[in-house]
Amino acid sequence: MTEPIAMIAVDWGTTNRRAWALGVTGNVVDERGDGEGLLSVKPGGFAKSFADFAAPWLAGERTLSVLMCGMVGSKMGWVEVPYIAAPADLANLGRKLHPVPFAGKARIAIVPGVSCEHKGVPDVMRGEECQVLAVLAERKLKEACLLLPGTHSKWVQVRRGQLASFRTYMTGELYNALTSSGTLAQLMEKGEADGDAFLKGVERAREEGAGALSHLLFGVRTQGLFARLPRTSLASYLSGLLIGTEMKDALAWTGARQIIAVGSPGLLENYRRAAQSFGLVFEAHDNSALLPPALYMIARDAGLMA
């Protein structure tokens, strides 16, 4: 590190943690990450966990501003931060930051998440709102449909420049659960990703009258039992089935034909191929490139960079 650090930006999730040391203009001076997400932190251990993690950056004389987003602000996190209700003007996130007491040389605050309701049932996000803000600010968008795939995929509707509403799909969590235990996992064998099997799953989900997901999932088992697919291809077929089901419902809800996707490159590629099957215009952005400038923007607007 040759440039002084002006602030630290942190994305602290359930299973992983990433952080960036930023310069005065928001440029990345240094970055680091580990697997010490919320599930790995003992009760009452967040302050020590962060102090150890960021020790090289906190070794100087200056007290640094630290802005965090993600599940660190949940009930399971360091401090529970109330949600902002949608429709939400993300440009005002800097006014809603929640300070966190910390004995070390850091002024820590957490970005609030966003909530909405669908027919009386709440839906929530933490961390994704910062990625949405980054896209809107960079592209100067007022109307858009954004997709943020992951363990819990988010489909976001932007109206008049605000985060108007969103839907969450437990696609990644279902995939992990179904490939690690149960009758489907018993049939699966490790192998290279099978692109054809993946698209076959997407197409099955797209079919008119295909039926409920619980019915389609049993077809993963029978594809293996009747040797319609090699056992090494069943996981790829399952992935296509889950992503295809998610996309079919989300498109019926949003009516979108063009989507902006933000996520990790590997996961984005699967969604790109599924979107192509649906005939969508698909624009992809690496989330690791969007979070640092988003958190810098929020910190600057909140006056934390002074």
Identify the pLDDT of residue 57.
Answer: 94
Mean per-residue pLDDT over the chain, rounded: 93
Identify the pLDDT of residue 1.
Answer: 53
Whether residue 136 is predicted with pLDDT greater than 60 in this model: the reply is yes
Identify the pLDDT of residue 104.
Answer: 86
Rounded Cα distance between 34 and 274, Å, is 30
DSSP state, residue 160 = T
Rounded Cα distance between 306 and 295, Å, is 15
User: Cis ω on the peptide bond leading into residue 87 (within 30° of 0)?
Assistant: yes
Which residue, among 109, 115, 153, 119, has the nearest Cα to 246 in the 3D structure?
A: 153
Q: Provide φ and ψ at 136, rounded to 5°.
A: -65, -40
Helix (H) or strand (E) holding 171: helix 171-180
Query: In the chain, pLDDT over 90 holds for what percent of residues?
Result: 84
Rounded Cα distance between 10 and 68, Å, is 5
How does strand 84-85 pair with strand 98-100? unpaired
Q: Can you tell me the mean pLDDT for 67-77?
A: 94
Distances (CA, A) of 177 to 54, 92, 171, 239, 243: 33, 37, 10, 12, 15
Contact present, 276 and 116 (Cβ < 8 Å): no
- Per the listing, tokens 């990345």 go with 28
Q: For 6-19, what is each residue's pLDDT tens digit? A: 999 999 998 889 99
Helix (H) or strand (E) holding 121: strand 121-125
DSSP state, residue 57 = T
Q: For 255-266, what is each residue's pLDDT tens digit? A: 999 999 999 888
Q: How confident is the model at residue 306 (pLDDT cuts 50, 70, 90)?
A: low
Identify the pLDDT of residue 138.
Answer: 86
Q: Can you tell me the mean pLDDT for 34-51?
A: 93
Amino acid letter, 34:
D
Q: Can you tell me the mean pLDDT for 74-97?
A: 94
Helix (H, G, I), strand (E, B) or coil at 195: helix
Q: Is 7-139+289-301 a domain of CATH 3.40.960.10?
A: no
Identify the pLDDT of residue 60.
Answer: 84
- Give pTM, 2 decimals: 0.90
Identify the pLDDT of residue 139.
Answer: 86
Domain residue spans of the chain: 7-139+289-301, 169-285
Rounded Cα distance between 1 and 21, Å, is 9
Contact present, 143 and 159 (Cβ < 8 Å): yes
Q: Is 169-285 a domain of CATH 1.20.1440.60?
A: no
Amino acid letter, 161:
G
Whether residue 305 is predicted with pLDDT greater than 80 in this model: the reply is no
- Per the listing, tokens 């089901």 go with 245
Q: Can you tell me the mean pLDDT for 200-204?
A: 97
Rg (CA), the chain: 21
What is the side-by-side order of every strand in the sheet holding 258-263?
162-169, 153-159, 144-148, 258-263, 281-286
Distances (CA, A) of 60 to 55, 63, 190, 243, 253: 10, 8, 48, 46, 51
Helix (H) or strand (E) holding 33: strand 28-34
Query: Tokens for 223?
Result: 């594809």
With a CB cutoff of 8 Å and minimum separation 6, the contacts of 304 are 7, 65, 67, 107, 109
Amino acid letter, 281:
V
Identify the pLDDT of residue 177.
Answer: 96
Rounded Cα distance between 293 and 302, Å, is 14
Q: For 142-200, what is each residue's pLDDT tens digit? A: 999 999 998 899 999 999 999 999 999 999 999 999 999 999 999 999 999 999 999 99
